[in-house]
Amino acid sequence: MKKQLVQLIQSKINQVLKNYGIDNNSAIDLQIPPDKKNGDFSINAAMKFAKLCKCPPQKLAGEIKTLLETETQWFSKVCIAGPGFINMYLADAIIEKFFNELCQSENLLQTNVTEIVPTVVDYSSVNIAKQMHVGHLRSTIIGDVLARVIEALGNPVIRQNHLGDWGLPMAMVIYKAEPVVRKAEKEGVSLEEVLPLASLEQLYKAATAECKEDSKVATACHEYLVRLQQGDSELLDLWKKITRVSMAEVYRIYKLLNVKLTEADERGESFYRNMLADTVEEIKKSGLLKEDEGAQCVFLDEFKSKEGTPLPVIIQKSDGGYNYATFDLAAMRYRTKELGAKRIIYVTDARQVLHFKQVFATARATGILADPNVSLEHVPFGSILGEDNKPLKTRSGENVKLSELLNEAVDRAYAVVNEKNPKLSDEYKKEVARMVGIGAVKYADLSQNRNNDYVFSFDRMLALNGNTAPYLQYAHARICSIFRRAEKSIDDYCAKAIISAPEERELMLKIMDLKQSVVSVATDLRPHVLCNYLYELSVCFSSFYDKCSVMNCKDEATKASRLEICNMTRKTLAFGLDLLGIEAPREM
């Protein structure tokens, strides 16, 4: 409806402007007045164009108003306010028309794709042999939402898990794990038994300490790295085994988090190992590769240190080894050339802002992108803080383990569910506790402006009131219970919606706003916009349900209509929560 409305208003404004000899093609900015009394929508076009037309804004507004008033099927009233705002009141019939069309349509987003943009979303991108900690949580869940949202709008999405699996940490773990693996093999013990992720992490920590203390160990680890990168078959075999043990644990957490990444999405740094030399060769051809203290670097004018000295992007180290940036450049080449990406999105914490600025600029300057028009977008995010406002740590100062955090959320959610509805079976309570606990953790993160740090608080995220997952899930379950009481099937309910109260009208308009918030998330890559929308939708539903009785409604057509409005609210909530990767129980 919004789209047609904007088109209509645009054409009226252009018609008026034409009389002043102005050919306008700038888009109008349709606003929603904060006070409903001032109409459903408002525009400031008259003020914007007054100067250009050499005409008082009030007069211009009057002329636009006159044209809008002819559209009686759209507007019940058009008014001029203040210095020249035009406030518009939609006719109930037009809201009903578009709302009923939405009820009939298969797809809540009513997508008709005109331009398909193949999009790579690089997210989660964990490091092998290290436990996933809370720092990886944000990349994983924000990235997953962005992928789902862009996909829902009809674009092919290629998920890429850019694992850290080919650097020194990996060589260090292999160095320490080798004797353990050999012993296990001799004794016929499975690796899954001796090398779970926790002990791999111990091995990595031990190696780090030993490397610091003993230069011989450091040299040995370095030799392992060279051997691995040269393709030593024995080390490669160990590397593969360690990777699988490590990833098995990561997949357990993805599943718990309801995150869509699979083994098919793994494109670790190792994947690019045979493309690095070619990438460097191509960069060399651009003439931008310069030697600096033995390393091959690219210097770009826009990157200087505070003191004004040029900052390099190191492409190849003096020992011939490659850098984090080199892998990213090789990956960009691959993604544009082989995957046909027109848009590449990277989700990492804000500490990597400079890195991505540099590699994006380097890729463009050196011409290694198969498609120079590809959009390269870094999606940075802040940290998760503890209640003390410092980065979230355990009491002993360790990084908090993601799996422990999630388990605690589920346990606490169980208590909430149990208190709310003790009559549910224990098995179902556990199922709901999982949805609510995990949903609460994800939503608390997603509902924040991602650039900010936020304080992790179980009490706040599990509250049944306020902008939380349980509040939305509860609204969803409440609607399901209305249908159970009405003895109607919620999955194929269908009736004509009519407006008989202002709360119905408001809720119908809100439901029709879904697409706008989804498009906004796909464009600006900020999931909290969708969270805010779903929260406002639930609040609207609450006022509707307070004022408009459904079950006790005497008029059959009104009752059927109200059930349909409930039905559409539920569908929209479930759809939106699914885009956030959050499940919505039907009872809680």
Residues making contact with ligand ARG (CB under 6 A): 122, 125, 127, 162, 164, 328, 331, 346, 348
Cα 416 from Cα 404, distance rounded (Å)? 19
Buried b (16+ CB within 10 A) or exposed e, 285-298: eeebbeeeeebbbb
**Shortest CB 344 distance to ligand ARG, Å:** 9
**Shortest CB 142 distance to ligand ARG, Å:** 13
Q: Are 264 and 158 in contact (CB under 8 A)?
A: no
Query: Smaller CB distance to ligand ARG: residue 9 or 313?
Result: 313
Query: Smaller CB distance to ligand ARG: residue 87 or 125?
Result: 125
**Shortest CB 118 distance to ligand ARG, Å:** 17
Locate 314 and state its tokens: 């190191």
**Shortest CB 477 distance to ligand ARG, Å:** 37
Give the Å distances, CA to CA, from 442 to 140, 144, 432, 528, 588: 10, 11, 15, 11, 19
Burial class (CB in 10 A: 0-12, 13-18, 19+), 279: buried
**Number of Cβ within a 10 Å radius of residue 582:** 26
Cα 140 from Cα 126, distance rounded (Å)? 9
Query: Smaller CB distance to ligand ARG: residue 162 or 510?
Result: 162
Cα 103 from Cα 564, distance rounded (Å)? 8
Query: Smaller CB distance to ligand ARG: residue 137 or 550?
Result: 137
Query: Smaller CB distance to ligand ARG: residue 331 or 435?
Result: 331
Cβ-Cβ contacts under 8 Å for 132 (sequence gap 6 or more): 126, 140, 249, 250, 253, 401, 402, 403
**Shortest CB 354 distance to ligand ARG, Å:** 13
Query: Smaller CB distance to ligand ARG: residue 125 or 447?
Result: 125
Q: Smallest Cα–Cα separation from 298: which of 282, 319, 313, 316?
A: 313
Cβ-Cβ contacts under 8 Å for 112 (sequence gap 6 or more): none
Burial class (CB in 10 A: 0-12, 13-18, 19+), 91: middle
Query: Smaller CB distance to ligand ARG: residue 124 or 467?
Result: 124
Query: Smaller CB distance to ligand ARG: residue 42 or 316?
Result: 316
**Shortest CB 164 distance to ligand ARG, Å:** 4
Query: Smaller CB distance to ligand ARG: residue 216 or 351?
Result: 351
Cα 372 from Cα 378, distance rounded (Å)? 17
Q: Tell me the HSE value of 523 on the side-chain side, using a 13 A CA sphere.
A: 7
Query: Smaller CB distance to ligand ARG: residue 349 or 578?
Result: 349
Q: Are 570 and 479 in contact (CB under 8 A)?
A: yes
Query: Smaller CB distance to ligand ARG: residue 28 or 350?
Result: 350
**Shortest CB 127 distance to ligand ARG, Å:** 5
**Shortest CB 298 distance to ligand ARG, Å:** 17
Q: How far is CA 498 from the centre of its chain?
A: 35
Query: Smaller CB distance to ligand ARG: residue 346 or 541?
Result: 346
Buried b (16+ CB within 10 A) or exposed e, 138-166: bbbbbbbbbbbbbbbbebebbbbbbbbbb
**Shortest CB 205 distance to ligand ARG, Å:** 17
Give the Å distances, CA to CA, from 476 to 196, 231, 469, 473, 562: 39, 54, 11, 5, 15
Q: Which phi and psi angles does 85 have, rounded to 5°?
A: -70, 145
Cα 6 from Cα 246, distance rounded (Å)? 52
Query: Smaller CB distance to ligand ARG: residue 346 or 535?
Result: 346
**Shortest CB 379 distance to ligand ARG, Å:** 11
Locate 152 and state its tokens: 């829902």
Cα 407 from Cα 405, distance rounded (Å)? 5
**Shortest CB 122 distance to ligand ARG, Å:** 5
Cα 28 from Cα 11, distance rounded (Å)? 10
**Shortest CB 268 distance to ligand ARG, Å:** 9
Q: What is the DSSP string of 147-163?
A: HHHHHHTT--EEEEB--
**Shortest CB 96 distance to ligand ARG, Å:** 48
Q: Which phi and psi angles does 268 have, rounded to 5°?
A: -70, 175
